Structure 1
Amino acid sequence: MTLPEALLLFLAGFGSGAANAIAGGGTFLTFGAMTLVGLPPIVANATSSITQFPGYVTSALAYRVEIRRDGVTAAKLAVISALGGLLGAVILLSLSNPSFRAMVPWLLLAATAIFAAGPWLKPRPRGAHAPVGPLGLVAQFVTAIYGGFFGAGMGIMMLAVLGLATGSDYHRLNAIKNFLAMVIAGVAILVFAGGNVVGWPQALVMIPGGALGGWSGVWLARRVPQAVIRALVVAIGLALTGYYFTTG
């Protein structure tokens, strides 16, 4: 790894942490940067899960009071999410790099569309604290499979699924979402590490950048409109989609 590559990875980690703190979409930056420095698509995707994980942990800790208050629902969904994340990660490892590479532009296009639609997918506060029914559990299982397999746009998908399943207020759902994202990423990391598909040197460069970006993102969130950050992330997602479609 050259010094310019290390700098690119650190900046991508920083931008990812900041974007996730403000509007989400950090995976676009980490995955894109790692493929640009030459990591195979599966390794780049697996390593991206590593770099995102610390942010999920700190977000879950910030919501620990809300999560404890909703402990039964969170625990039930965590089991479902762990199983789905495990399945998604195993499916990823069963593919060859060329096979996954062929899927990447379509995955990026879908994730970009989901992320762009985020403001319309967020649940409307209705005040109810309804339990998650069977359909909600199935939908979360499918979302967790996607999260373990690829992950970009997973947070928005979970907010939409949980909102439709429970009709609860946004902050309750966001707390559960952050906790479940941590569970899904944690399980996927164990599978990827066991499968020897993690670029550890790249991850070690990006993680400090992500931590610093996450801290700075709180400062930026008070000064930069989320719409501006969202538009930038969507532009990056579309650029990456175009790149992978045209270089296939």
Structure 2
Amino acid sequence: MSVSIVILLICSGIFVGVVNTFAGAAAAVSISVYTALGLPIEIANGTNRLPVLFQASAAAVNFRKQHLLDYSVGLKLGIPTALGALAGAEFAASVDPSIFVILLATILILLLTLLIFSPNRIFKGNGKPAREVRKLDCLWFFLVGLYGGAFQIGMGYVILGLTIMGMGYDVITANALKSFIVMLYIPFSLAVFMYHGQIAYGYGLVHSIGNVIGAYVASRYATRINTQFLRWMLIVFIVLTVLDLFKIISIKNALDNIL
């Protein structure tokens, strides 16, 4: 692995760690970087679980130090999410790559629409007091786990949507819960992709370094993050990823010329 690739993985990882800790969908950046470096889409998808695990763990620990994390609620929501992630990951690891590309591109386009036309639905809370976890919440998070185990991209938005708009948490507390829930379920989906041999450990571990740095910065200075900047950076990366998936452009060729 060349020095330029290491720098690319770490720098992109820092951005991914910041965005995923504060909101979500930055897994699209990781996927585009991995595929640009030559990984098949299914291996890029599996490898993405490694940095997410380290990133979420770093953020959850830091949120806990600031007394913003409720372990009890996190466990009640994280366990059904982990069970769903097992089934979702098995689907993603087994489905035909061409079908997976279509599904992934569809999800990215939906996320792009949300980012452009309704960003405040996620970035701002509703100010309602938090309530107890209900059985219906556990069912929703099991379904969320199915999605996260298969795709991961946009999980931050889904979890924040349920905890902020559905359960009434403020955005900072919801982010703490999100990090803890992701930390709980990611090992289950990671194990499935490891079993299927769909992890590029070198790329994933180096990318994780940047993810941990970004997660620490975001969880430490969450109230100072410029969400509009993150929003537009994500929009750019998602557009490029969709164009690359449909082979309209080639991020790999562009990177080859640079590196």
2:41 is matched with 41
**Normalised TM-score (structure 1):** 0.86
1:95 aligns with 2:95: yes
Unpaired stretches in structure 2, ≥5 consecutive residues = 250-259
Give the superposed CA RMSD. 2.6
2:201 is matched with 200
CA contact (8 A) 1:118 1:156 kept: no
1:85 is matched with 85
2:232 is matched with 231
- Which aligned pairs between 1:16-165 and structure 2 lie closer than 5 A? 16-64=16-64, 65-68=67-70, 71=72, 73-116=73-116, 117-121=118-122, 122-127=124-129, 129-165=130-166
CA contact (8 A) 2:21 2:175 kept: no
1:175 aligns with 2:195: no
Unpaired stretches in structure 1, ≥5 consecutive residues = none
CA contact (8 A) 1:23 1:229 kept: no
Which segment drifts farther, 192-201 or 133-142? 133-142
Cα distance in 2, alignment partners of residues 164 and 217 from structure 1 = 22
Question: Deviation per CA, 1:100-158, whole angstroms, max 9, x where unpaired?
Answer: 2232211222233345544213431112x322323322221111111111111111111
1:182 corresponds to which letter in structure 2?
M
Relative to structure 1, the CA distance from residue 149 to residue 223 in structure 2 (aligned partners, 3 Å threshold; closer, same or farther) is same
Relative to structure 1, the CA distance from residue 118 to residue 27 in structure 2 (aligned partners, 3 Å threshold; closer, same or farther) is same
Indicate the SS of the match to 2:48.
helix
Relative to structure 1, the CA distance from residue 220 to residue 246 in structure 2 (aligned partners, 3 Å threshold; closer, same or farther) is farther
Q: Percent identity?
A: 23
Cα distance in 1, alignment partners of residues 220 and 81 from structure 2 = 31
2:48 corresponds to which letter in structure 1?
S
Relative to structure 1, the CA distance from residue 138 to residue 208 in structure 2 (aligned partners, 3 Å threshold; closer, same or farther) is same
Aligned residues: 245
Relative to structure 1, the CA distance from residue 163 to residue 211 in structure 2 (aligned partners, 3 Å threshold; closer, same or farther) is closer
Relative to structure 1, the CA distance from residue 220 to residue 60 in structure 2 (aligned partners, 3 Å threshold; closer, same or farther) is closer
Relative to structure 1, the CA distance from residue 10 to residue 59 in structure 2 (aligned partners, 3 Å threshold; closer, same or farther) is closer
2:254 is matched with none
Indicate the SS of the match to 2:160.
helix
CA contact (8 A) 1:114 1:156 kept: no
